[in-house]
Structure 1
Amino acid sequence: MRLYERFADKGYHSSIATTFGIDFDAYESIVLPRIRGAGCRNNMVLADARMLTHALGGASPLPRQAGRLYTASGAQVAGLFHPKLFLQIGRHGGRLFIGSANLTAAGLAGNLELVTLLTSGVEDDGAQRLIAQAYRYLSSLIDPADPMLPTQFEWMLARAAWLRSAASAEGPIELCDGTRAALLLSNSAEGIGTRFAREIDGEVKRLIVISPYWDERLGALSALAERLRPREIAALIDTDTGLFPRDATGSISGITLYRRDGFGGSRFIHAKALIAQTDTADHLLIGSANCTVAALGTGNTSGSNSEASLYRQLPPGRAVSELGLEKVLTPEGRLEVEELPPLHVEDDIPFDALSQSHPGIFAVHGDTLSWRPATHVGAPEAYEVELLAASGAPLVSNPTRLEGTDHRRIRFQIEATDDLPAFARLFGPQEFTPGIITHVDALQIAIRETHSRQTENALAQLDGETEATLALLEVQDLLENIEDRDADGHGEGVSIPKARKETDEGGQKHRQLSYDDFIAGRRPHQSGHVQHNSLGGSDVSIVRGFLNRIVGLNSLVTPVDENDEDALKAAFDLGDETQNAEAAMAAGEEFAARPTSRPVQDEGEEEQRRNARRAKATKDQLVKAAADFAKRIELKQESGSLSSRDFLRLRALLMIICAASWRGTDKAGEKPKDRTSLQVLPVEGDPNSWPYVLGRLIFKVFGGSKPAIRCLKLDSVHDQLPADLLECWATCFWCMHACLCARLSPGESTKIQRHILPLMEQVYRRTHLSKDELLAASITDVMDGMSIQYADRLGIDPEALSRAHRSACERILP
């Protein structure tokens, strides 16, 4: 099969690829676009740690998407990390490629490789048990202090209920076709060669060996020959490479060498296979293991490399026939030892030097760069960090070391740059290769499943909307329900709640903190925009993105690829055809979801009465939604835990109220032409005028002696307030100032000030933001966007509101 073609198969949301060497350009050009295009977006690569350093040091083009669309990590083992597994997991099954191909251009499209495929569904069968065994092996390789891998594994497992309950194979098992199979991994005291030989019963007529690399003294082959005692050993040799130790053949009884002519054309044979033929079966071993002691071990040793091979017991002659070996293993194809060139040992890769060149692990969360130094980095405080773009060019940025860090995890504040930093390079007493930066926030956005029909139906409710309406709360309800079912392991939802990690980037335990406790230990935000958000990786963040687009903000933290851009356009298509949509939206104009060809008719008295009834129903629904939110907060306050989702709901509801409000009253004769049918809440003259509705909502969270804000729980992995919360706080500030800046009658203005002024002081103080933070772009840009969208319809002067905010900062927080 053409391996690269199979990467485009659909039905899987996660992949884990292991490799010895890596060519980033090959993975990102051949594998990544195909699997992502098929909906597989949670992707991980595990390479030999020293070979990963080798690639980053110049042996491969630098990766363009590592750390942003997938993670690339190094596995550190005693010998070589050499398995070539490609595991894919979906909701309804999984599949496992096992073979000899590395993630290099040669391995994926150049060499002659051998790869086999196991596929399973949700039912318990032999293939599923082998896949579960591979999953558990790969899980054992994960560094719990890695900034993303534990989260990626948890995310994958949360969306594969069958895998959570699947039994792992412990030895040979029967597949559905009646043949036997076993996944032989280098995690046992016995070597792979010994375990392979144990499965063979009966006399071995012929042992066929295909291997590009051999022991200098053929030690592994000698051990197999002693254990199996085959009548003949057939070794397929590539005469052009000089990699076979011809002088050691005298120690092997019954060995016959064969030319590779006609087998794989002129391509380098990188395939590895053992076939022990008996009268009753072909016993096949294929995978990553060369015919070396380091890979297969001997009778007394397990081998020093980490390898993965698959054993298959097939009908007699089938393995030879399937591989087309009959045309090669003929008398005419025999090769005399004298015809072989002398053994030519290639220059060794400097593994010892490479192991000392790895700088450690880098991750960016928000505007914080964390560095977990490798154990061999002496005196980490003596090093400075330089940020590099994906091209490898230095970025104009000076990371500032933060106080309170220790040698296990050093943190830096980084400045915003036009390009996202892709690599970090150390400057100091010792030279190191650049390290990939894992962008936690970007990956949480990139790791998502293709939307289910339920989610698409929810998003369809936003299609054509240019305003925040009550439909937005219905969408959030649906997304939260899907999310909660996924968290419990039920249902077929595809939302992506942020996986709960037990450790942060430095391997330190973290926990949920109350808002006040979080604030006491957080790092203040001084300027610019906060990049990370507590909804990262959740489809509920779609609601946040919709709100941000309404007020002219871009909620993305990283450039997206073509497929992601198309998805975003579909999710947030505003459905308008106006040439100046922004101005029309600011004026409150309504847009149809689809163009209509029906002529506009004058409204008669009956139509006017119907509109009045619809407006009253909408007003009642808005007031009820606000009351329901208050009850929701009360119940959550009793349990002592509010989440970021509750404050996203508060922000959405505040914007819904603003969209439904207008600057006039419902008095007879007051019918301005620019009032739309959506604007049902007057500025005064009604117990549910918009200043009162907004004030009651904000008071429910921030007011009184026991404000609900104190029950907000935040993950201690954040060291700054997440952006989604700052956006909510900014919306609250704007709404309170809107109430005070509204054009009210003198008596009504006095009443509103009596209620709002003390509440405003409570909100400013209970958010615990400093004056600098309150005047930073992360707050003021949201407030400016709210003014553009809502100030005119509410009869508010944007400049007056902005001045009022600055004045409140000076007065409340001198």
Structure 2
Amino acid sequence: MADANMLQRAIAQTPESFARAGSAYALLPICVPGAFHPKVSIRLGSDAGCVIIGSANATAAGWGRNREIVGQIEWWRKRDDEDANASRQLIRKAFDYVAPWLKEAGLEAMKRKLDLIERDAAWLFEIDANDAPLALSDGSLVDLLCEAGKGEAGILMRLAGLVGTVPVTRLIVMSPYWDANLDGLLGLIDAMRPQEIIIALSAHRPEFPLDGLPLIPDARFASIFDGNDRARFIHAKALLIQTEHWDHLVYGSANCSDDALGLADKAARNAECSIYRRLKAGTGLGALGLDISLPIDRKDLYPQTKELTDTKCDAGIPPGTLEAAGNTIRWTPSNRITEPEGATIVIAEGEFPFHPTRSRGRSVELPSKPRPPLIARVRLTDGTLTSAVIVNDEVSLTHAAPGMGDKRLRSAFAKVELEDGDFLELANLAAIIFSETPQGRRKAVTPATSAGRARTKSSGSDAEHEVYDYDSPEAFRTAMAASVPATGDSGRLNFDDPDAVNLLRTILRGINQPQQEDGDDADDDTLYTDEMPQSEDDPDPDHGNRLEAVSER
């Protein structure tokens, strides 16, 4: 997920850096009123999860050269303590933060990835995200401060609520960038009313907006990281609010600016994500590894050489959703495109016209499958070119998605669903679907604990399988419930076998093919539906793996 405007610039300047985009990984442009600025990594598995939140961009500088600050939150199924439960809630909160953007993308490939997460990481959905800071075993508190840039109260006001009305003895701010008028810093000072203000800057080259110095006459400056590698750029962002009993620490993506933090009378424009910690008084600086004992004289400050980047989504008209499936490119225009008729797709191989589809979208069939990465624009009838986007390839991303199951099966299912492959290929792989594989094997309960079950053995050419006869449906349900792997607290039945899910999807697709009778008008009174039941919170019922039109009778 990347800021739409910054991604547009990167595509124009360094298209070679996107060699695997759209095929090995999905790439989503995100647009908010300010900048889409969070730095979040979420890893989810069947028995563990990890979230990393901090200041580092996914660049060589962010991951190698700069001084950055990050926090890691982990959960394992084997852990069963207060801190583990807190980590689990925070991971859910981080996922809930990014999920709306993933769903709003309207991509089939993204829908599949979200389905994969819900199936393979079922534990994540069996606990609710926290709505207040969580207590850890060491007496500290932890939370995530997430800002979506949608007009809600910003991080500053939420932090003020966490600090409360107790006197603030000292405010320490570390930020690589500042707004020119210091609105963010002044808003922070006004909300906290600290007795002392310290601004931590690089020992190598302490930069600050010099025109704003008269606005903060009581602030003093401290030199940090004065060592052999003092020239490393300090990209870390942190706020430390010290009171008599607690140190309130916030670190993550937010610079000290009004767009990032918001003000008392102004919502934040950026999307930001930071970690909040409430620590014992006097321990915050040690946690950050900061020594602020060396002062900087104001006359030794350098003017700020880099302004905060303006990332408003005004670099061009966004085309909307473009997604490939084989030679076919599907297009759902953005809401800024009011007349999509007559539009063409512009790619390196040429320019091709879109045609209306029965699902109220538009598509184009290319002469051959384009080579990744597929960088495309849309030319409207008035000649206007939209901004460039990376086209995500649904088939390639399905093959690249991690998960359980046999690779041959995943490839065959993808061909059937996405490329009109031969159903007989699945028949050739039936032995894999219905055999007990290491990926699909479940721990069965012993005969003594399975009431109403008789066991026999059946011999076959490939392997020996156990066959069970149950006395009643209730006995079968009991055995199945007992054999399902643990998924956490709920005990609900979870489809954890991707081959079974894919087979079910294929069967439903086959039995629901349209049965158009003579005289039926395929364009009148049609009902478009997903192959699987549509959820009530799907923002667009036209997105999903659609069946052909089914007459509404």
CA distance in 1, matches of 2:116, 2:123: 14
2:260 maps to 295
| 1:86 shift after superposition | 0.9
Q: 1:250 aligns with which of 214, 239, 251?
A: 214
1:676 maps to none
C-alpha distance 377-104 of structure 1, shift in aligned 2 (>3 A): farther
Q: Which runs of 5+ in 2 are unaligned?
A: 410-424, 442-479, 523-529, 532-543
CA distance in 2, matches of 1:500, 1:260: 60
Q: Deviations over 1:102-158 (max 9, x none)?
A: 122222222211101111234561111111111111112231623322321121011
The DSSP-based 3-state class of the residue aligned with 2:322 is strand
Q: 2:327 aligns with which of 361, 367, 372?
A: 367
C-alpha distance 262-479 of structure 1, shift in aligned 2 (>3 A): farther
1:133 maps to 93
**How do 1:235-384 residues align onto structure 2 when only pairs under 5 Å count?**
235-238=199-202, 244-252=208-216, 254-262=218-226, 265-326=230-291, 329-330=292-293, 333-344=294-305, 346=307, 349=310, 351-354=312-315, 356-377=316-337, 379-384=339-344
2:474 maps to none
CA distance in 2, matches of 1:513, 1:144: 29
Q: Is contact 1:181–1:312 with CA below 8 Å preserved after alignment? A: yes
1:194 maps to 157
**How do 1:9-158 residues align onto structure 2 when only pairs under 5 Å count?**
46-58=1-13, 61-122=16-77, 125-142=85-102, 143=104, 145-158=106-119
Q: Is contact 2:329–2:363 with CA below 8 Å preserved after alignment? A: yes
**How do 1:724-743 residues align onto structure 2 when only pairs under 5 Å count?**
none
CA distance in 1, matches of 2:370, 2:86: 51
CA distance in 1, matches of 2:207, 2:358: 51
The DSSP-based 3-state class of the residue aligned with 1:141 is helix
C-alpha distance 226-346 of structure 1, shift in aligned 2 (>3 A): closer
Q: 2:130 aligns with which of 169, 172, 178?
A: 169
RMSD: 4.0
CA distance in 2, matches of 1:160, 1:257: 47
| 1:291 shift after superposition | 0.7
**How do 1:653-732 residues align onto structure 2 when only pairs under 5 Å count?**
717=546
Residue correspondences, number: 451
CA distance in 2, matches of 1:512, 1:491: 21
| 1:378 shift after superposition | 5.6
| 1:437 shift after superposition | 1.6
Q: Deviations over 1:519-550 (max 9, x none)?
A: 9999xxxxxxxxxxx99xxxxxxxxxxxxxxx
C-alpha distance 479-244 of structure 1, shift in aligned 2 (>3 A): farther
CA distance in 1, matches of 2:389, 2:513: 34
The DSSP-based 3-state class of the residue aligned with 1:445 is helix
Q: Is contact 1:186–1:302 with CA below 8 Å preserved after alignment? A: no
Q: Is contact 1:173–1:180 with CA below 8 Å preserved after alignment? A: yes
C-alpha distance 475-227 of structure 1, shift in aligned 2 (>3 A): same
The DSSP-based 3-state class of the residue aligned with 1:291 is coil
1:441 maps to 395
Q: Deviations over 1:248-293 (max 9, x none)?
A: 2333353111234517621221110011223433221001111111
C-alpha distance 267-513 of structure 1, shift in aligned 2 (>3 A): farther
**How do 1:162-561 residues align onto structure 2 when only pairs under 5 Å count?**
162-187=123-148, 189-200=152-163, 202-238=166-202, 244-252=208-216, 254-262=218-226, 265-326=230-291, 329-330=292-293, 333-344=294-305, 346=307, 349=310, 351-354=312-315, 356-377=316-337, 379-387=339-347, 394-395=348-349, 399=352, 401-402=354-355, 404=357, 409-417=361-369, 419=371, 422-427=374-379, 429-449=383-403, 473-478=430-435, 482=440, 489-490=493-494, 493=497, 495=499, 497-498=501-502, 514-517=512-515
C-alpha distance 61-246 of structure 1, shift in aligned 2 (>3 A): same
C-alpha distance 517-53 of structure 1, shift in aligned 2 (>3 A): farther
Q: Is contact 1:94–1:121 with CA below 8 Å preserved after alignment? A: yes
Give me the TM-score of the superposition, normalised by structure 1. 0.50
C-alpha distance 377-493 of structure 1, shift in aligned 2 (>3 A): closer
| 1:370 shift after superposition | 0.9
Q: Deviations over 1:64-121 (max 9, x none)?
A: 1111121111122222211111111111121111101112222222221110111123
Q: Is contact 1:81–1:305 with CA below 8 Å preserved after alignment? A: yes
What is the identity, as a one-letter code, of the residue corresponding to 2:322? F
Q: Is contact 1:360–1:373 with CA below 8 Å preserved after alignment? A: yes
C-alpha distance 421-285 of structure 1, shift in aligned 2 (>3 A): closer
CA distance in 1, matches of 2:235, 2:398: 37
| 1:171 shift after superposition | 1.2
* Rg (Cα) greater in structure: 1
Q: Deviations over 1:281-311 (max 9, x none)?
A: 3221001111111111222333221111111
The DSSP-based 3-state class of the residue aligned with 1:381 is coil
| 1:180 shift after superposition | 0.4
C-alpha distance 325-499 of structure 1, shift in aligned 2 (>3 A): farther
CA distance in 1, matches of 2:5, 2:49: 30
| 1:203 shift after superposition | 3.7
What is the identity, as a one-letter code, of the residue corresponding to 1:190? A
CA distance in 1, matches of 2:236, 2:545: 48
What is the identity, as a one-letter code, of the residue corresponding to 2:397? L
CA distance in 2, matches of 1:357, 1:367: 25
What is the identity, as a one-letter code, of the residue corresponding to 2:546? V
What is the identity, as a one-letter code, of the residue corresponding to 2:232? R
2:463 maps to none
Q: Is contact 2:55–2:237 with CA below 8 Å preserved after alignment? A: yes
| 1:375 shift after superposition | 3.1
Question: Which fold has the larger relative contact order, with Cα–Cα distance below 8 Å and residues 6 or more apart in sequence?
Answer: 2
Q: Using the aligned pairs only, state the percent identity.
A: 27
Q: Deviations over 1:204-249 (max 9, x none)?
A: 3322110011122322222222332322211012477785222323
C-alpha distance 417-214 of structure 1, shift in aligned 2 (>3 A): closer
Q: Is contact 2:50–2:91 with CA below 8 Å preserved after alignment? A: yes
The DSSP-based 3-state class of the residue aligned with 2:163 is coil
1:160 maps to 121
C-alpha distance 421-85 of structure 1, shift in aligned 2 (>3 A): closer
| 1:436 shift after superposition | 1.4
What is the identity, as a one-letter code, of the residue corresponding to 2:327? D
Q: Is contact 1:232–1:255 with CA below 8 Å preserved after alignment? A: yes
What is the identity, as a one-letter code, of the residue corresponding to 1:156? I
Q: Which runs of 5+ in 1 are unaligned?
A: 1-45, 388-393, 456-467, 502-509, 523-533, 536-714, 721-814
CA distance in 1, matches of 2:400, 2:14: 27
What is the identity, as a one-letter code, of the residue corresponding to 1:359? P
CA distance in 1, matches of 2:308, 2:260: 19
Q: Is contact 1:111–1:267 with CA below 8 Å preserved after alignment? A: yes
Q: Is contact 2:179–2:308 with CA below 8 Å preserved after alignment? A: no
Q: Is contact 1:204–1:276 with CA below 8 Å preserved after alignment? A: yes
CA distance in 2, matches of 1:478, 1:75: 43
What is the identity, as a one-letter code, of the residue corresponding to 2:378? L
CA distance in 2, matches of 1:495, 1:178: 46
CA distance in 1, matches of 2:547, 2:304: 57
The farther-off stretch of 206-215 and 512-521 is 512-521
